Amino acid sequence: MVVKIGSALLTGGGRGLDIEGITEWVRQIAALKASGKEVILVSSGSVAEGMSRLGWTTRPRTLHELQAAASIGQMGLVRAYESLFEAHDLKTAQILLTHDDLAHRQRYLNARSTLLTLLSLNVVPIINENDTVATEEIRFGDNDTLGALVGNLIDADLLIILTDQKGLYDRDPSVDPTATLVREATISDERLSAMVGESRSGLGRGGMITKLRAARLASRSGTATVIVSGRETHGIQRIMEGEDVGTFLIPDVSSPLVARKLWLAGQLKLKGKLTLDAGAVRVLREAGKSLLPIGVIEVEGQFDRGDLVACLDTEGTEVARGLVNYGAEDARLLMTQPSSRIEEILGYVDEPELIHRDNLILA
Q: List, for residues 105-157, the tens digit of each pLDDT value.
A: 778 878 888 999 999 999 999 999 887 776 655 466 678 989 999 998 888 99
What span, in angstroms and rounded, lies between the C-alpha atoms of 269 and 87? 41
CATH of the domain at 293: 2.30.130.10
Torsion (CA) 240, 232, 128, 360 in degrees, nearest 10: 60
90 contacts 122 by C-beta, under 8 angstroms: yes
pLDDT at site 126: 97
pLDDT at site 210: 87
pLDDT at site 123: 97
Together in a domain, 88 and 174: yes
Position 272 pLDDT exceeds 80: yes
Together in a domain, 78 and 95: yes
Look at the chain and report how many structural domains it folds into: 2
pLDDT at site 139: 61
Together in a domain, 169 and 255: yes
Position 73 pLDDT exceeds 50: yes
Secondary structure of 153-211 as H, E, C letters: HHCCCEEEEEECCCCCECCCCCCCCCCCECCEEECCCHHHHHHCCCCCCCCCCCCHHHH
Mean pLDDT value of segment 49-61: 87
145 contacts 210 by C-beta, under 8 angstroms: yes
What span, in angstroms and rounded, lies between the C-alpha atoms of 2 and 128? 12
Domain range for 57 is 2-261
What is the chain's mean pLDDT, rounded? Answer: 88
Together in a domain, 59 and 155: yes
The sign of the CA dihedral 231, 237, 240, 241 is: negative
80 contacts 19 by C-beta, under 8 angstroms: yes
pLDDT at site 141: 65
Together in a domain, 141 and 41: yes
Could you tell me whether strands 2-5 and 92-97 are parallel, antiparallel, or unpaired per DSSP bridges? unpaired
pLDDT at site 1: 95
Together in a domain, 12 and 72: yes
Together in a domain, 79 and 164: yes
Mean pLDDT value of segment 337-353: 92
Together in a domain, 161 and 207: yes
Together in a domain, 6 and 143: yes
Together in a domain, 230 and 306: no
Position 104 pLDDT exceeds 80: no
CATH of the domain at 127: 3.40.1160.10
What span, in angstroms and rounded, lies between the C-alpha atoms of 141 and 145? 7
Last residue of a domain, one of 261, 280, 304: 261
Position 22 pLDDT exceeds 80: yes
